[in-house]
Amino acid sequence: MKKTLQQLTLTALATAMLALGAAAQTAGQDIKNAGHDTADATKQTAHKTARATKKGAHKAAHATKKGANKVEQKTDPDNPK
């Protein structure tokens, strides 16, 4: 009886240790996954920022050309308005 109780206790302890080991591996993988998710989000944000900056620069250049053309028309002596 005493030996059966010892075996049962040992089996329960071994099962608990395996469960804790598996949980530790899962936690480590969760941290790795969080790191990868953060890296992907950073790349996506950088890409969208670059696109928005480029789009804004093109709009500003177009507005500058448009304004320059208006000034040129106003100052052109051959084209009175």
Q: What is the pTM of this model?
A: 0.52
Distances (CA, A) of 27 to 15, 16, 37: 18, 16, 15
Question: Which of 70, 15, 27 lies closest to 81, judged by CA?
Answer: 70
Give pLDDT tens digits for 17-53. 667 666 666 888 889 999 999 999 999 999 999 999 9
∠ CA 52-40-24, rounded to 5°: 155
- Tell me whether residue 45 is exposed, middle or buried, using C-beta atoms within 10 angstroms of its C-beta: 0 to 12, 13 to 18, 19 or more: exposed
